[in-house]
Structure 1
Amino acid sequence: MLSAAETVLVIVDVQGKLARLMDGSEALHQQLVSLISGARLFDLPIVWLEQLPQKLGATSEELQAVLEGHQPIAKEHFSAWPCDAFRAALKHTERKQVLLCGIETHICVYQTCRDLLDNGFDVHLVADAMGSRTAANKALGLQMMLQAGAKLTNVESLLFELQHHAVGDNFKALLKLIK
């Protein structure tokens, strides 16, 4: 089970024109906004990545709005793992459960997932908060990560898993968030 005290959210490369080319881009962005808002509700650390932002552009505006107070980490490799700043940010959280989301599922998310798994992290794939240009590539990317040992979840399931208890102010805020 996910624990808010042990979990970090990693957002991979939802940037520029490429983000708008994802299959189901509008729904993907809505789920990412809900996920990030939920992560903030549970005070999860957020590690936000951008692939070559000087070439691919900045993170989508609607995501930047809910990521206020956080700064993106620029990377050059498809996987985030070779990036010293990423590894340092992850280490700083002192957490081993990773909620992984972003684009493209079969490339940057996949390679980051494999490196996280190879380095002892418990990776949870937020399937409805990741995308590829085609549904087939997304499905294949998810399958490859599951075969490597990652776990599958979705935004609503993981937020209720973090909540655990159906009472209180956080629960009320969570209900408003998912409606």
Structure 2
Amino acid sequence: MKYFDLDSENTQLLLIDFQEKLFPAVCDDSKTARNVQTLLKACETLQIPVKYTEHYPQGLGKTIPQILEAIPKDSRRFEKIHFSCCDEPEFETFIRYAGRDRIVIAGIESHICVLQTASDLLSREYRVFIASDACSSRKMEHHAEAMDILRSMGALVVPTETIVYRLLRKAGTSAFKTMLPLFK
């Protein structure tokens, strides 16, 4: 990816599969959840659309409460059974609904659903930004390998804080003042 061209007008957040039966098994689950909550607060503050998926929720449960409670009320949920969200027939319509071509992704597991979805979004000409510390896998080496692969494919892989500061653009605004306590 050539440019770090995120702003609140062209960006949407996609959360992938932060579910009750999956999430407790991933590495650094509490840190990952905090970073997702930070992304959600930034989206709420900057009025950035949020979309979230649940993979086979009948078996894997719903989105975990600490994330679900932070998701803005007007966010859209998408149920899936494919590992890549893009393999679901209605996903293209779902993701295009916001009319924004920059997609920040946070999710689990990094080496399965996050990797496959991000790869497919890149092939469809979306600009993909991975919040590396808001993604995880059951094994840290799987997460690290997925981040390396995504970087080589053209996704920008950076920490949550980097994404939020890029979206904020400058200090001194009410949005900056709202977000600052989360980084202290």
| Same fold (TM > 0.5) | yes
Amino acid at match of 2:26: M
* Ranges in structure 2 where 5+ consecutive residues have no aligned partner: none
Name 1:8's counterpart in structure 2: 12
Q: Distance between the aligned counterparts of 2:72 and 2:128, measured in 1?
A: 25
Match of 2:138 in 1: 133
Counterpart in the other structure of 1:65: 69
Aligned amino acid, residue 41 of structure 1: T
1:68 Cα deviation after fit: 4.4
Q: How many residues align?
A: 179
Alignment-derived partner of residue 148 in structure 1: 153
How much is the aligned-residue C-alpha RMSD, in angstroms? 1.1
Once the two structures are aligned, what percentage of the paired residues are identical? 27
Q: 1:54-95 CA distances to partner (integer Å, 9 max, x unpaired)?
A: 110011110010114134210010000122333212111111
**Counterpart Cα distance in 2 of 1:84 and 1:38:** 30
For structure 1, which segment, 84-93 or 9-18, has the greater mean C-alpha deviation from structure 2 after superposition? 84-93
Contact 1:38 1:177 in 2 (8 A): no
Report the Cα distance in structure 2 between the residues aligned to 1:144 and 1:83, rounded to whole angstroms.
23
Q: What is the TM-score with the length of structure 1 in the denominator?
A: 0.96
The residue type equivalent to 1:16 in the other structure is E
1:158 aligns with 2:163: yes
Counterpart Cα distance in 1 of 2:31 and 2:160: 12
Unmatched 5+ residue regions in structure 1? none
In the TM superposition, structure 1's runs of 4+ consecutive aligned residues that sit over 6 Å from their partners are none
**What secondary structure does 1:157 align onto?**
helix
